[in-house]
């Protein structure tokens, strides 16, 4: 089957309605992953279709084997997005990608040269929480091996943080204007996290550069929302059938999408609002709503659902006990911890999440969502847990979620099957679990890791007691019976 650049596509497929030759690379994006393809790049493509915008994107991969970038180049930087709803699907071809760089094959110099081009206005990122190389307090983790090496050789960077600092140094030296650094990762105050990590790194190597970045570079916060499962062979087969051509870069996602952006750009931006994005002065309330209600419930369902043997989130939602508990977590535990703008309907938001989670057309694996839990728990559970401790109110479901994570990272589900735990700290976590026999000792030592659990949470007697009780219950009864008992 021909690829999407050469094939005659099926009639219902939406193709770019603009002249791709007019596009100029103004955005360099780190992380050509599933979410970016179905979210920021798609918004940019929609703006081009609606307004004739000339904003093009250079996609960057800092690691991996580069196969995805090779495939993207082989099809003229086109790729497909299949939006799968409960009652039908919608296929689109995205055309705003103009260039691509795979650092391991093209070289770091090629990336730095691109970032130093005068017209580059935005360096955006979907590099996951661990890509920022920060600890639980949000400070740069100078003990991180990649950061430690980058501090020794800042002109030959490896991490995204160091690459951006070096690119800004080159722009400053060439007397070029700065660009905006736009984080699109699922992290609370992601722009501030990016700013702090970049400024700390810059100040360690050149305080004058740090001062220039602090004064001239903007770091808007964003809230992004769309359920985008990792593509599988079945996903790619389905996309090929729908569009009429093979596309190894294709991605499937839900129809819903949301993007709330702090309007603070030093070198211009696309009119993403034309495609439904919302520009605001303060993103934080929306971030917290999404991180706690959507992402928090997702993590809860991922750990406990995977332990129970459910492969997909929609499978967990088919279990009425999991479905009811997820709604209870959102409305009774997470929602009270939020302070939202007037008119925000959290009941409606929670019910829409339940409907989205239940979409059987999306095969969002619990294993995928459970990845990198040590990086996600602070944002998804920490703030609301602290709220309930201060209020003296019930945090049982948060304690159960943490207990589920502990059982999950132990590497075995309730049926005795091995779990392939993907977490940057997996070895450390499993060593703690295997070196202690007593459940209370395991919980105590895991919650004592202050880069995951701040001391006021992880060493709080009530938290330790509640998490230990649920961990013991999970060991004895399994996740299904524990959730059903609630």
Cβ atoms within 10 Å, residue 170: 15
185 Ramachandran zone, left/alpha/beta (phi>0; psi -120 to 50): beta
SS3 assignment, position 312: strand
Count the Cβ atoms, other than its own, within 10 Å of residue 407. 28
**Which distant-in-sequence residues (6+ apart) come within 8 Å of 54 by Cβ?**
22, 23, 24, 26, 48
Which 3 state secondary structure label does DSSP give 77? coil
Give the pLDDT confidence score for residue 342 in this predicted structure.
Answer: 86
Q: How far is CA 405 from CA 214, 381, 389, in A?
A: 38, 11, 20
Enter the CATH code of domain 20-280.
Answer: 3.40.50.720
How many CB atoms neighbour CB 112 within 10 A?
19
Paired sense of beta strands 55-61 and 88-94, if any = unpaired
Which fold is adopted by the domain 284-485?
Answer: 1.10.1040
Report which DSSP code applies to 153. Answer: -
H/E run at residue 222: strand 222-225
Give the C-alpha separation, 217 to 211, whole Å: 10
- Rg (C-alpha) for the chain, rounded Å, is 22
Burial class (CB in 10 A: 0-12, 13-18, 19+), 418: exposed
Beta strands in 41-130 (DSSP E): 55-61, 79-85, 88-94, 97-102, 122-125
- Rounded CA separation 422/370 (Å): 8
Residues ≥6 apart with Cβ < 8 Å to 60? 28, 29, 30, 31, 32, 100, 101, 102, 103, 111
Structure tokens at 138: 């949000």
pLDDT one digit per residue (tens) for the chain, 486 residues:
578 999 999 999 999 999 999 999 999 999 999 999 999 999 999 999 999 999 999 999 999 889 999 999 999 999 999 999 887 899 999 999 999 999 999 999 999 999 999 999 999 999 998 999 998 678 999 999 999 999 999 999 999 999 999 999 999 999 999 999 999 998 889 999 999 999 999 999 999 999 999 999 999 999 999 999 889 999 999 999 999 999 999 999 999 999 999 999 999 999 999 999 999 999 999 989 999 999 999 999 999 999 999 999 999 999 999 999 999 999 999 999 999 988 899 999 999 999 999 998 888 899 999 999 998 998 899 999 999 999 999 999 999 999 999 999 999 999 999 999 999 999 999 999 999 989 999 999 999 999 899 999 999 999 999 999 999 999 999 999 999 998
Task: List the alpha helices (DSSP H) in 144-189.
Answer: 145-152, 160-173
Residue 1's pLDDT is 55
Domain boundaries, the chain: 20-280, 284-485
Quote the Cα angle for 223-203-222, to 5°.
5
DSSP output for 430-481: HHHHHT--SHHHHHHHHHT-TTTS-HHHHT-HHHHHHHHHHHHHHHHH-HHH
Q: How far apart are the two ends of the chain, measured CA to CA in Å?
A: 51
pLDDT of residue 465: 97
Let me know: does 407 contact 471? Beta carbons within 8 Å: yes
């Amino acid at each position: 089957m021909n690829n999407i650049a050469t094939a005659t596509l099926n009639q219902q497929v939406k193709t770019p309605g603009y002249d791709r030759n007019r596009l100029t690379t103004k955005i360099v994006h780190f992380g050509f992953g599933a979410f970016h393809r179905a979210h920021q790049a798609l918004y940019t493509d929609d703006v081009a279709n609606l307004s004739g915008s000339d904003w093009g994107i250079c996609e960057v991969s800092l690691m991996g084997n580069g196969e995805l970038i090779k495939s993207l180049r082989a099809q003229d930087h086109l790729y497909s997005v299949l939006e799968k709803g409960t009652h039908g699907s919608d296929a689109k071809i995205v055309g705003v990608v103009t260039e691509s760089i795979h650092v391991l094959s093209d070289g770091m110099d090629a990336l730095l040269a691109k970032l130093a081009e005068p017209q580059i206005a935005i360096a955006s990122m979907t590099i996951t929480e661990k890509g920022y190389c920060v600890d639980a307090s949000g400070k740069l983790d100078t003990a991180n091996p990649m950061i430690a090496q980058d501090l020794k050789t800042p002109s030959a960077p490896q991490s995204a943080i160091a690459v951006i600092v070096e690119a800004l140094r080159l722009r400053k030296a060439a007397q070029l204007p700065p660009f905006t650094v736009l984080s699109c990762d699922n992290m609370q105050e992601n722009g501030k996290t990016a700013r702090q990590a970049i400024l700390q790194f810059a100040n360690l190597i050149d305080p004058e550069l740090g001062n220039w970045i602090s004064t001239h570079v903007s770091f808007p916060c964003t809230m992004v929302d769309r359920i985008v499962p990792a593509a599988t062979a079945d996903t790619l087969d389905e996309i090929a059938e729908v569009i009429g051509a093979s596309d190894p870069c294709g991605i499937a996602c839900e129809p819903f999408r949301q993007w709330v952006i702090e309007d603070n750009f030093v070198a211009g931006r696309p009119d993403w609002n034309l495609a439904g994005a919302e520009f605001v002065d303060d993103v934080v309330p929306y971030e917290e709503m999404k991180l706690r209600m959507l992402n928090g419930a997702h993590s809860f369902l991922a750990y406990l659902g995977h332990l129970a043997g459910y492969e997909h989130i929609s499978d967990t939602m088919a279990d009425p006990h999991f479905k009811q508990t997820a709604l209870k977590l959102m409305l009774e535990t997470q929602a009270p911890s939020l302070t939202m703008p007037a008119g925000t309907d959290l009941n409606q938001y929670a019910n829409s999440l339940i409907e989205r989670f239940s979409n059987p057309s999306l095969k969002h694996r619990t294993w995928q969502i459970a990845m990198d839990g040590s990086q996600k728990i602070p944002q998804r559970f920490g703030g609301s847990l602290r709220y309930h401790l201060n209020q003296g109110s019930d945090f049982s479901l948060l304690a159960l979620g943490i207990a589920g994570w502990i059982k999950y990272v132990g590497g075995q589900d309730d049926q005795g099957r091995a779990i392939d735990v993907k977490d940057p700290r997996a070895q450390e976590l499993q060593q703690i679990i295997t070196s202690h026999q007593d459940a209370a000792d395991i919980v105590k030592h895991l919650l004592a890791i202050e880069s995951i659990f701040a001391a006021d949470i992880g060493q709080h007697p009530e938290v330790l007691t509640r998490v230990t009780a649920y961990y013991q219950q999970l060991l004895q009864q399994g996740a299904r019976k524990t959730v059903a008992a609630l």
